[in-house]
Amino acid sequence: MTESRIALWERLMAIGLVPDTMLRAGVRSALRRRLRQLHKDSPHRPTDPCHDAPIAVETATANQQHYEVPTEFFHLVLGPRLKYSSGLWSKSVTNLAEAEESMLEVTARRAGLKDGQRILDLGSGWGAFAIWAAQRYPSAHITALTNSRTQATYVHDQAVAQDLSNLSVRRANAATLDFNLDGRFDRIISVEMLEHIRNVEPLLNHVAELLEVDGRFFAHVFSHKTHRYTFEAETDGWMARWFFSGGTMPNLDHLTRASSKLRPMDRWIINGRHYADTLRAWIQNLDTNHQAVLDIFRDLYGPRNAALWLARWRLFFIACQELFAFQNGTEWVVAHHLFEPTGQ
């Protein structure tokens, strides 16, 4: 689709002339085309096309797209924990707040968290896991590491407001491996951060060096079941330009082969419907808080572009919801990986 046609569609969405049924049908059609191309290219694709790439690319752009957007926007759209990642749903878990708590509890259990440990939340976001862990394990010490100014400020302010003396915040860019951390950790947790990493091997090697001998690294990543691919402006123009610059879609096996310094211990696969249901709840919140979001976007993007950006965010959530719901949640999934250091 040409740039002019994309611009026209965006303007039509901004004034409400494109129904959701049409948007969703278009997204599903694009997903089918994507899969056909991935299958076609698969025999010719290198095992690790990003092996010689930088650790991360376009980090400043990606930060602006998501993590420097005012926190007030995410308060209106996400759940009460500000968990900007998949929740976990069940027959007894029927709302976003419960789905956030459910996934946090499963993450802690699978990672083997205990009171008294030193825990690093690598790519902490707005502190959903770090704050939860600091509340749950008062004798543990949790370090939240983020490269976002607004996120670091928010987590610090929450630690002060809630008197969480066992929670500290560091601001650092994972792409430089300059974390400025003291000592080693019993557990390192990473929730939906590795998707922003282009060449994951150097980062995982550094993670291994930060672990105690009996430490564990737990990663929560969304994944395609078979194909690993990157988001490029030439092939993923709209998504890469506005929301996922420099992003990567891992496959289920990529992390297990990425580092000789980390040994896979266990893996759990969570059906993509859980993420689709999370995104459905975000869309409902976005629609419910339509006017308040517009007010934020007027300040952020200017009065002329506020409705356009609201339409873009809404389409982004719809596109992601359809992706994780595709093939009843079996094509794109959420994976939990547990690793131990090899000592190499």
pLDDT in tens, 195-249: 989 899 999 999 999 999 999 999 999 999 999 988 876 555 677 777 877 789 9
Question: What integer pLDDT is reported at residue 43 of this predicted model?
Answer: 65
The answer to whether the beta carbons of residues 233 and 260 sit under 8 Å apart is: no
The amino acid that residue 125 corresponds to is G
| Residue 115 pLDDT > 90 | yes
pTM for this entry: 0.92
Two tokens at 128? 């959903």
Strands (E), 9-148: 118-122, 141-146
Q: Quick one: 97 exposed, middle or buried, by C-beta within 10 A (0-12, 13-18, 19+)?
A: middle
* Domains located in the chain, CATH noted: 47-290+332-341 (3.40.50.150)
Range name among 44-48, 79-83, 226-230 with the lowest pLDDT average? 44-48
The mean pLDDT value of the chain amounts to 90
DSSP string of 18-73, one letter each residue: S-HHHHHHHHHHHHHHHHHHHHHHGGGS-S-TTTTS-S-SSHHHHIIIIITS-HHH
Please choose, from the candidates 210, 215, 218, the residue with its C-alpha nearest in 3D space to the C-alpha of residue 189. Answer: 218
Helix (H) or strand (E) holding 154: helix 149-161
DSSP assigned state of 251: B
